[in-house]
């Protein structure tokens, strides 16, 4: 079984392992595997061959405090309104409340 990759992945763990254990020069390895020499140098310096996480190490996408979030959740459960209606109803109370998709 092969490794499952996302759409824009260019390497697998096996290719990164082959580059790390390769005895040839960075230029030769970059030509062999079709990568930029800087990319090959980064792969050689890495301590593992596993996929790395992309994006921020600590996601901080929320603008709501824990208390504001509790108010929104309680309001939604109590009223059973759609999200847009909850948004418009709660914006006077929580002015910095914004739609998630915009």
Tens digits of residue pLDDT in 13-72: 888 999 999 899 999 999 999 999 999 999 999 888 887 777 777 766 567 888 998 999
Q: Within this chain, do residues 96 and 70 fall inside the same structural domain, yes or no?
A: yes
pLDDT at 41: 94
- Would the pLDDT of 6 be above 70? no
The single-letter DSSP state of residue 92 is T
pLDDT at 45: 92
Structural domain containing residue 31: 13-45
Q: Within this chain, do residues 65 and 34 fall inside the same structural domain, yes or no?
A: no
Q: Within this chain, do residues 70 and 39 fall inside the same structural domain, yes or no?
A: no
- Domain tally for the chain? 2
pLDDT at 4: 61
pLDDT at 5: 60
Asked if residue 37 lies in contact with residue 59, where contact means CB atoms within 8 angstroms, the answer is no
pLDDT at 7: 60
Structure tokens at 92: 């006077």
Q: Within this chain, do residues 73 and 92 fall inside the same structural domain, yes or no?
A: yes
Q: Within this chain, do residues 93 and 66 fall inside the same structural domain, yes or no?
A: yes
Q: Within this chain, do residues 61 and 27 fall inside the same structural domain, yes or no?
A: no
Q: Within this chain, do residues 35 and 60 fall inside the same structural domain, yes or no?
A: no
Residue 100 domain-assigned (yes or no): yes
Asked if residue 5 lies in contact with residue 12, where contact means CB atoms within 8 angstroms, the answer is yes
The whole-angstrom separation of Cα 30 and Cα 40 is 6
Residue 26 domain-assigned (yes or no): yes
> Model confidence at 3, in pLDDT bands (50, 70, 90)?
low
CB atoms within 10 A of CB 59: 7
């Amino acid at each position: 079984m092969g490794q499952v990759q996302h759409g824009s992945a260019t390497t697998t763990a096996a290719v990164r392992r082959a580059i790390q254990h390769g005895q040839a020069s960075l230029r030769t390895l970059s030509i062999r595997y079709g990568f930029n020499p800087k990319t090959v140098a980064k792969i050689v310096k890495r301590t593992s061959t596993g996929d790395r996480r992309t994006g921020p190490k600590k996601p901080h996408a929320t603008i709501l405090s824990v208390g504001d979030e509790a108010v929104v959740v309680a309001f939604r459960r109590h009223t059973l309104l759609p999200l847009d209606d909850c948004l418009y109803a709660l914006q006077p109370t929580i002015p910095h409340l914004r739609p998630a998709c915009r």
